Structures are given as structure tokens and as C-alpha cells.
Amino acid sequence: MKIAYSDNQIKLARFAKAMGHPARIKILEILSSQDCCYSGNIAEEFPIALSTLSQHLKELKASGLIQGEINPPRIKYCINKENWKQAKLLFDDFLEEKPVKSNPCNV
């Protein structure tokens, strides 16, 4: 019998996928060190096209790690604190050393 993925496994994979690019890690570092930041200010930190930066911000927002507020013509981004805490807990639990069990995989 196959076991379905747990909600935590699905959330962890979503967060990990969103963090799967160095530009997104840098964006998260920038946003986690301040309350909020406008996309134009974030763009000053990157040697990439605005459209590429926008795509990275879109991926992070879709994962729930950041949130954006539109104040035309600018967009203000900040860390989604609730999901940030949840991601930390999920990664901490996943990366915690666990006792070794007998090998059910027959490797």
C-alpha cells in the first residue's frame, strides 16, 4: 500500500522549490533583514533584468514565503511572517538527525 504525502511534506516541498534559486535566496535575505522593501529597491541589488526579478518575486509570493502590496506604481514586498515561521519549523524538523532504523529499502 502506498502512503500519500502529508500536508507537511507538501508544504516543505513547496517552500524548498521556491528557495531553489540563488536569486530567491538573496531576495529572502534582503526581505528578512527589514520590514518591507519596494521591488525597485530590490532590483538595485541584482544584475538581472526586471522581468526576471519579477518572476522570482512571483514564485516566492506563490509559495507564501513573501507577500506583496500594490501601491501604484510600486509594489512593496515583505516576508510572510507566519509562513516564514512554519518553513523554519518544517526545515528544522526535516534536517534534524533522527535515529537510524533498520533498512526497509534493502539497499
CA distance 102 to 75: 52
Domain membership of residue 96 (yes or no) is no
Q: What is the pLDDT of residue 21?
A: 97
Domain membership of residue 106 (yes or no) is no
**With contact defined as beta carbons under 8 Å apart, do 63 and 57 qualify?**
no
Residue 101 pLDDT greater than 80, yes or no: no
CATH number for position 15: 1.10.10.10
Cα 21 to Cα 42, 57, 59, 85, distances in angstroms: 16, 11, 10, 20
Report the share of the chain in percent with pLDDT over 90. Answer: 69
Proportion of the chain in helix, strand, coil states, percent, rounded to 5: 55, 15, 35
CA distance 45 to 38: 12
Domain membership of residue 52 (yes or no) is yes
Domain membership of residue 3 (yes or no) is no
Domain membership of residue 73 (yes or no) is yes
> What is the pLDDT of the chain when averaged over all its residues?
91
- For the chain, the domain total comes to 1
Q: What is the pLDDT of residue 107?
A: 55
Domain membership of residue 1 (yes or no) is no
Mean pLDDT, rounded, for 74-94:
96
The residue range of the domain holding 43 is 8-91
Q: What is the pLDDT of residue 74?
A: 87
Q: What is the pLDDT of residue 98?
A: 83
Largest CA distance in the chain: 59
Domain membership of residue 58 (yes or no) is yes
pLDDT digits (tens, 9 = 90+) for 45-79: 888 898 999 999 999 999 999 999 988 888 999 99
Domain membership of residue 79 (yes or no) is yes
